[in-house]
Amino acid sequence: QKEVEQDPGPLSVPEGAIVSLNCTYSNSAFQYFMWYRQYSRKGPELLMYTYSSGNKEDGRFTAQVDKSSKYISLFIRDSQPSDSATYLCAMSQYGNKLVFGAGTILRVKS
Amino acid sequence: ETGVTQTPRHLVMGMTNKKSLKCEQHLGHNAMYWYKQSAKKPLELMFVYSLEERVENNSVPSRFSPECPNSSHLFLHLHTLQPEDSALYLCASSQDPQYQITGELFFGEGSRLTVL
């Protein structure tokens, strides 16, 4: 079993849709949860960071962590064609390296 | 130049060649990393340097040889590679090696390597 599972997609949605991206994980010791966005031919960039459980909102983006279910989500409201990218979840426990998911390809059609 | 820059952006090499990838960070960070990104696979951490000292080496084959001459520059020397080494090689930096606490890694655009 992979430590972090992420549906590779591609996920194709119309402009304006609400997008839900998800990751599941097996290591209950993970405390730090991140979402990175990677545009084509670019390196990943940190989008959202959450410590432990709960929600965090930043503009159109909401990150959600459910540690009891070992499940994290990224919601994108009013999706735009410029949101088309690969979204990588990443997580870690204190003192250990980041563990990444394989990424979900998102395509927002105008 | 700002952020993290990597050269070359694309590299094609034969299995007997020797080449190097270069990374430079302009952020004043103390830690630098090499990651391998293959299609549909998670990012794989290869090497971690903190203040020019290697602090992590994730069982990477010896055909990959890192070098960190100072806190701003990182190299990955390549020799006698295999076709399965074809991938995107990403350099990253962080303020310090405790990046995992905030997750804030700053990545370059990567060097796309093809081994024939």
Q: How far is A15 from chain B (nearest CA, A)?
A: 25
Q: How far is A68 from chain B (nearest CA, A)?
A: 21
A1-37 tens-digit pLDDT: 789 999 888 999 999 999 999 999 999 999 999 999 9
pLDDT of A94 > 80? The answer is no
> Bridge-partner residues for B93, per DSSP?
B32, B106
| Phi and psi torsions of B99, nearest 5° | -55, -30
B7 pLDDT tier (thresholds 50, 70, 90)? very high
pLDDT of B101 > 90? The answer is no
A94 and B97 in contact (C-beta within 8 Å)?
no
Pick the residue from chain B with its C-alpha nearest to A92: B100
E strands, chain B, in order: 4-7, 10-13, 18-25, 31-37, 44-50, 53-57, 64-70, 73-79, 87-94, 106-107, 111-115
Q: How far is B68 from chain A (nearest CA, A)?
A: 20
Query: Which letter, b or e, does each residue of A57-68 get, where b requires 16 or more Cβ atoms within 10 Å of its Cβ?
Result: eeeebbbbbeee
> What average pLDDT does this structure show over A61-81?
97
pLDDT of B98 > 80? The answer is no
Nearest to B41 among A42, A94, A102 (CB): A102
What Rg do the C-alpha atoms of chain B give, in angstroms?
Answer: 13
Q: How far is A100 from chain B (nearest CA, A)?
A: 5
Q: Do A97 and B56 touch (CB under 8 A)?
A: yes
Share of residues in chain A with pLDDT > 70 (%): 100
Among B12-21, B46-55, B71-80, B91-100, the minimum mean pLDDT is found in B91-100
Q: Do A8 and B40 touch (CB under 8 A)?
A: yes
* DSSP per-residue string spanning A25-53: ES-TT--EEEEEEE-TTS--EEEEEEESS
Q: How distant is the alpha carbon of residue B51 from its chain centre?
A: 16
Which of A97, A99, A104 to mutate against chain B (most B CBs within 10 Å)? A97
pLDDT of residue B103: 66
> What average pLDDT does this structure show over A34-58?
93
| Higher local confidence (pLDDT), B56 or B59 | B59
pLDDT of B87 > 60? The answer is yes
Q: Do A46 and B100 touch (CB under 8 A)?
A: no
Q: Do B104 and A49 touch (CB under 8 A)?
A: yes
Token pair for residue B42? Answer: 């998670």
Q: From its phi and psi, is residue B48 left (phi > 0), alpha (psi between -120 and 50) or beta?
A: beta
B54 and B68 in contact (C-beta within 8 Å)?
yes
B55 pLDDT tier (thresholds 50, 70, 90)? confident
B53 pLDDT tier (thresholds 50, 70, 90)? confident
Burial environment of residue B7 by CB neighbours within 10 A (0 to 12, 13 to 18, 19 or more): middle
